[in-house]
Chain A
């Protein structure tokens, strides 16, 4: 029995292994290269933040890592296998993505939206276990008291939380979020980052996020990948990236760094 489990462990990717890999990937739109020959690796069971100025190619890169976009050249590997070799429904049980703009044209309640997260697992027939996942996701995002409201009755932040809940209900090993803190107030931003940290630490999820607030990246992520002008600017552990020299290279700004409660806080307002 124990031996069996050992065998199983061996074949799977373990925490700390590079499980999502991008090799020499490029992408152009109308002849303009927005991602230029980028190679990165994401460790399993970590939170990796993607930072960089506007138009650096972060969203394009993660769209390619989640097959929302195809790549022109290079390779995207999910657990060692090319992303194109996965069947779409298999991949949907492994990798989930939430983009920044989420407008849908049908009238749905929060609960109905979150239940779509179970589609890869059960199609349209949700079992009791599926509804359990839906309930959990709703509680995680503190949406219980508004679960029967329609999405168009919610504020931007509440809507954003509902979409994150849908991705949580999908229950994938890899969760990719493109600016999940958009539209959110401080309280909910912090609570979502704490939730992501918990998902990573307790359940071993691998989380990739694009964040604009560098201090959220600094306080909550394990690794940071920095992009600039379509190229990889820096990649490494959080503490290796958050220093004035590297940040100057990425943002062309002098950014001071203070230590507050053992967290590195970047000061860039003045």
Chain B
């Protein structure tokens, strides 16, 4: 590892630890310890899980599509999640959310999203002439379709029921379900186990399909597995806190700018650290500075959007 890389890692680790410490202990009186600390601890755990899942899934999505300005949300994965939630309430009422336990709802969402990812895979990676623009187009169309369907159902349902969906529409780290947290950790660990033997292919996959096949990567199998993993990670993070996939674009590209390497081992750790810093910092900002006047996703989308435009402008110059 280069010296520069090491220093960046150390800086990021120190920064994230101090931010986490601030988050845990800010304004804490001894009387509030027992109450506040476990709750804040849960938030921190959720932030780390979600941050890692988003950063990692965006990184591998960019690698398999060979394009660094994409995030999995472009293929409509998180709009599908919202559609599933809305459909549940639409067809079963608020009772539906009670009837299906949170765990069941969670697992069902994951299954649907993985199926959707496999459908996209079947559509796009069938045959040899796969086209990245086709993937974007199909993804955007699906995403819009899911979004419109959700909105359509939302205007039809009872306003009270709409409230229960609305809670899920915005990312929030303030009230996180503990049961879901444990389930998420278990699912992510299993996913990591599932994807681990394939991680060694990432650097070579970045060369593009032809080179990857030439160098002996079982391309179709690898792509399919990565798409499944991306779908699981997106559904876990969306189910835990809501849709904030834009964050992925931001953190992965910041990591790429800071760490001039093609090695995914370095890039993945870098992206995850940047992601944790951004999420803990953003949550602190929302809770302490803006006193919950705006949801976290507003900040992430604002900063992320500005950075995205910067990337596009710089890209056209080259």
Q: Is A66 engaged at the interface, CB distance under 8 Å to the other chain?
A: yes
Q: Is B203 engaged at the interface, CB distance under 8 Å to the other chain?
A: yes
Chain A residue with minimal CB distance to B127? A70
* Cβ–Cβ < 8 Å partners of A69 in chain B: 128
Residues on B lying within 8 angstroms of A by beta carbon are 66-68, 128-129, 200, 203-204, 206-208, 210-211, 213-219, 260, 262
- The smallest beta-carbon distance between B241 and chain A, in angstroms, is 31
Residues on A lying within 8 angstroms of B by beta carbon are 29, 63, 66-70, 87-93, 96-99, 102-108, 112, 116-117, 119-120, 123-124, 167, 170
CB-CB under 8 A for A70 and B204, given A97-B214, A98-B214, A119-B216: no
Chain A residue with minimal CB distance to B128? A69
- Which of A67, A68, A69, A119 has the most CB atoms of chain B within a 10 A radius of its CB? A119
Q: Is the CB of B210 within 8 A of A99?
A: yes
B207 partner, pick from A90, A93, A116, beta carbons under 8 A? A116
Q: Can you pick out 29 interface pairs between chain A and chain B where the beta carbons lie within 8 Å of each other? A: A68-B128, A68-B214, A69-B128, A88-B213, A88-B216, A88-B219, A89-B216, A89-B217, A89-B218, A90-B216, A91-B216, A92-B215, A93-B216, A97-B214, A99-B210, A104-B207, A104-B208, A105-B66, A106-B206, A106-B207, A112-B262, A116-B211, A119-B216, A120-B216, A123-B200, A124-B203, A167-B214, A170-B214, A170-B215
CA distance in complex: A98, B219 (Å): 16
- The smallest beta-carbon distance between B209 and chain A, in angstroms, is 8
* Cβ–Cβ < 8 Å partners of B214 in chain A: 66, 68, 92, 96-98, 167, 170
CA distance in complex: A103, B203 (Å): 15
Closest 7 CB pairs of A and B: A92-B216, A89-B216, A120-B216, A88-B218, A119-B215, A106-B262, A105-B66
Q: Is the CB of B210 within 8 A of A105?
A: no
Q: Is the CB of A68 within 8 A of B215?
A: no
Chain B residue with minimal CB distance to A99? B210
CA distance in complex: A90, B215 (Å): 10
Q: Is the CB of A107 within 8 A of B128?
A: no
Chain B residue with minimal CB distance to A166? B211
- The smallest beta-carbon distance between B223 and chain A, in angstroms, is 13
CB-CB under 8 A for A67 and B213, given A104-B206, A107-B260: yes
CB-CB under 8 A for A107 and B217, given A116-B204, A124-B203: no
- The smallest beta-carbon distance between B211 and chain A, in angstroms, is 7
CA distance in complex: A199, B50 (Å): 52
CA distance in complex: A119, B217 (Å): 9
* Cβ–Cβ < 8 Å partners of B219 in chain A: 88
* Cβ–Cβ < 8 Å partners of B210 in chain A: 68, 97, 99
